[in-house]
Amino acid sequence: MTITIEPERPPTQEPPRFRRPSLPAMLLLGGVLGLLVHGYTRGAWVDPTTLVEGVGRLGEFLSDAFPPNTERLPEILSSLLTTFEMALLGTIIGVILSVPIAVAAARNTTPHRIVYILARGFISLFRTVPDLVWGLIFVVAVGLGPQAGVLAIAVDVMGFCGRFFAESIEEVDSSLTDSLRATGASETAVLGGAVLPSCLPSFVATTLFALESSTRSSVVLGLVGAGGIGIELSVSMQLLRYDEALTIILAIFVVVLAVERVSSAIRRRLI
Amino acid sequence: MTGNAAAVDITGLVKAYPNGHRALDGVDLRVDAGETVALVGSNGAGKSTLLRCLVRLHEPTAGTIRIDGTDVRSAGRSELRRIRTDVGFVFQKYPLVHRVSAFHNVLHGAMGRHGSRCLSPLTAPKELRREAMEALDRVGLAGLAAQRAGTLSGGQQQRVAIARMLMQRPRLILADEPVASLDPIAGVEIMELLRDVAAERQLTVIAALHQLDYAIRFTGRIVGLQGGRLRLDRSSEACLTDDLVGIYGTAAVPA
């Protein structure tokens, strides 16, 4: 058999302006349109008239809410503090547990393929189940209160940090780990000597992101009974005490913003 | 080990990849204690693979490797670590932990002998700290011991890597293109340092080198690889341009 290679010919025609999309792209487009139409029949759409009315009611809410009622400020601040402490402890527990999981879930440090698959599976589970659902589960398990919130946040943080820690471990230059292996060092020593010190800045940055997101979710977790400011907000809204609710919202805003500012300042210094 | 065993004795070494490519295709090589050998050959000839197979950073496919008489391929995990402790490996890209000090990096060299105690200057025993300072002093960097490794120049980082290797108290040095990432002045300094250290401690050296003039100037024997096979084995003085043309083709060889 002879193989002939055709010489590359210069193009005689310019490429067409429009190319027909591929079949999968068409199917995907069809699917999205179908869902939107189906959603419309179920009320999942935005009605302009309701929207206009809604803006009006929002105005009512704001006029009721102003000026914010600071009568219960001490209680609000105290449960806001609890909320932040929940976020802090949950993040710390989550980060500590994330390190071994990430080591097991990084291709270059995992002790065994099966351990790798298991660790990845756990991380996916922690990530894909929303924090609010973890909150509900832990409320059932350990009862109402901040403890459930701490646990929910810890699991949520493990999903986030586990994945990003593992990715940062996988990015460690293989020649660095090889160079320590070549000295006769054990795998544990390679981990402690080369991998973890190299990953430290990225671990810290990821941890700070996790703390920011935990602070936000700890607020919402209160709504399902997992302790903190969320329950206060929910009660004020239900009792139509909008002026008190506004105080809570503003207090939450200040805390979340402060955490974000501090964490991004630290990250900037790290990098 | 046994008195007259070769420092390195390789027979029929093969490294084949799953796609069938043979990076090493039946290499036989014997290096006596105290020899300095240059491995030359174009990119992909198998130089790095050969060095890495020697301490099983790459797992060989077939053949035998003996280092100081010990069979490397049949060694279990702890035996392999003991063998590696005796072999200092110098890499092209001087892989150091950038965030910690030069001193801290040098301490890591003793991990094979002393385990996790050398993970940090905090836990390292006093005599190891002294030895690490001596190693840094030997490579001329005692003054920069506290400096973060990442802030040092390429040549300085390679010196730190060599000091780390000295902490192993190796008997054999494997150097994988140790000067390929350095400018010519730093390159000559590193080659001189390696040569002097090897002479002082009577170490065996096998160095993969791209610079043929360095190979001739700093080593006693030149071994050429081509396509995973040994094509040349000659003392540096007797090595002729024609030999190297066979290995590289004409363009690369200085007249």
CA-to-CA dists, residue A89 to A95, A164, A208, angstroms: 10, 20, 13
Q: Tell me what pLDDT residue A102 has.
A: 96
DSSP reduced 3-state for B63 = strand
- Helix (H) / strand (E) element for A155: namely helix A146-170
Q: Which of B108, B92, B90 is nearest to B100 (CA)?
A: B108
Q: CA nearest A173 in B: which residue?
A: B95
Q: Which of B85, B93, B99 sits opposite A183 (nearest CB)?
A: B85
Q: What residues contact A88, with CB distance under 8 A and at least 6 apart?
A: A211, A214
Q: What is the pLDDT of residues A141-198, one digit of tens each?
A: 998 888 999 999 999 999 999 999 999 999 998 888 888 888 888 888 889 888 998 9
Residues 6+ apart with CB under 8 A from B39: B47, B50, B51, B206, B207, B208, B209, B223, B224, B225
Contact status, residue B221 vs residue B234, Cβ threshold 8 Å: yes
Interface check B79 vs A, CB under 8 A: no
Asked if A182's CB is within 8 angstroms of B55's CB, the reply is yes
Could A183 and B168 be called an inter-chain contact, meaning their C-beta atoms sit closer than 8 Å? Answer: yes
Region A261-270: mean pLDDT is: 88
The pLDDT of residue A15 is: 78
B97 close to A (CB below 8 A): yes
CB contact under 8 A, B85 and A178: no
* pLDDT tops 50 at residue B2: no
B89, A179: Cβ pair inside 8 Å?
Answer: yes
For B199-208, write each residue's pLDDT tens digit. Answer: 998 999 999 9
> Would the pLDDT of B250 be above 60?
no
What does the block give as tokens for B116?
């996790």
Q: Which residues contact residue A229 at a Cβ distance below 8 angstroms, ignoring those fewer than 6 apart?
A: A76, A79, A80, A82, A83, A219, A222, A248, A251, A252
Looking at beta carbons, which residues of chain A come within 8 Å of B119? 189, 192-193
Give chain A positions within 8 Å (CB) of B88: 183
| Total count of residues recorded for chain B | 255
Residue A111 to chain B, least CA–CA distance (Å): 14
Note the pLDDT of residue A268.
86
CA dist., res. B244 & res. B213, Å (int): 11
Give DSSP secondary structure letters for A216-244. HHHHHHGGGTSSSHHHHHHHHHHTT-HHH
Is omega for the bond preceding A67 within 30 degrees of 0, making it cis?
Answer: yes
Q: Do A186 and B96 touch (CB under 8 A)?
A: no
User: What percentage of chain A reaches a pLDDT higher than 70?
Assistant: 96
Q: Sort A175 into a burial class: Cβ within 10 Å, 0-12 / 13-18 / 19+.
A: middle
Among A254, A220, A222, residue whose Cα is nearest residue A73: A254
Using one digit for the tens of pLDDT, what is the confidence trace for A67-126?
Answer: 888 888 888 899 899 999 999 999 999 999 999 999 999 998 999 999 999 999 999 999
* B240: its two tokens: 């002729």
What pLDDT digit, counting tens, does each position of B31-52 carry?
A: 998 899 999 888 888 888 999 9
Question: Does B239 score more than 80 pLDDT?
Answer: no
Q: Give me B74's structure tokens.
A: 């049949």
Query: What's residue A20's pLDDT?
Result: 82
Rounded to the nearest integer, the mean pLDDT of chain A is 89
Q: Does B171 touch chain A (CB under 8 A)?
A: no
CA–CA min distance B199, chain A (Å): 21
Helix and strand numbers, DSSP H then E, in chain B: 9, 10
Please list every residue in chain A whose beta carbon sits closer than 8 Å to the beta carbon of residue B164. 183
Token duo for residue B2? 């046994």
Q: What ipTM is given for this predicted complex? A: 0.80
Task: Give the per-residue pLDDT at B1.
Answer: 43
- Contact list, B112 vs chain A (CB under 8 Å): 183-185
If we measure between CA atoms, which residue out of B181, B202, B174, B170 comes closest to residue B55?
B174
Q: Which residues of B39-49 are buried (b: 16+ CB within 10 A; e: fewer)?
A: bbbeeebbbbb
For residue range B125-166, list pLDDT tens digits in order: 888 899 999 999 988 888 898 899 989 998 899 999 999 999
Determine the distance in angstroms separating the CA of B246 from the nearest CA of chain A, rounded to an integer.
Answer: 31
Residues in A whose CB is inside 8 Å of some CB of B read 173, 175-176, 178-186, 188-189, 192-194, 197-198, 200-201
Average pLDDT over residues B92-100: 87
Q: B117 with B124: CB under 8 angstroms?
A: yes
What was the pLDDT predicted at B118?
78
Smallest Cβ–Cβ distance between B97 and the set A188, A189, A198 belongs to A198
- Cβ neighbours of A194 in B, within 8 Å: 97, 108
What is the model's pLDDT at position A61?
A: 85
Question: Helix A113-128 crosses helix A146-170 at what angle (to 10 degrees)?
Answer: 130
Token output for A23? 């079949």
Would you give the distance in Å from CA A34 to the centre of its chain?
29
Which residues contact residue B207 at a Cβ distance below 8 angstroms, ignoring those fewer than 6 apart?
B36, B37, B38, B39, B90, B173, B174, B175, B176, B178, B194, B218, B219
**B chain contacts of residue A188, beta-carbon cutoff 8 Å:** 116
pTM of the model: 0.78
Render pLDDT for B105-119 as a digit per residue (tens, 0 to 9): 999 988 888 877 878
Identify the DSSP state of A44: -
- pLDDT single digits (tens) B220-231: 898 988 888 888
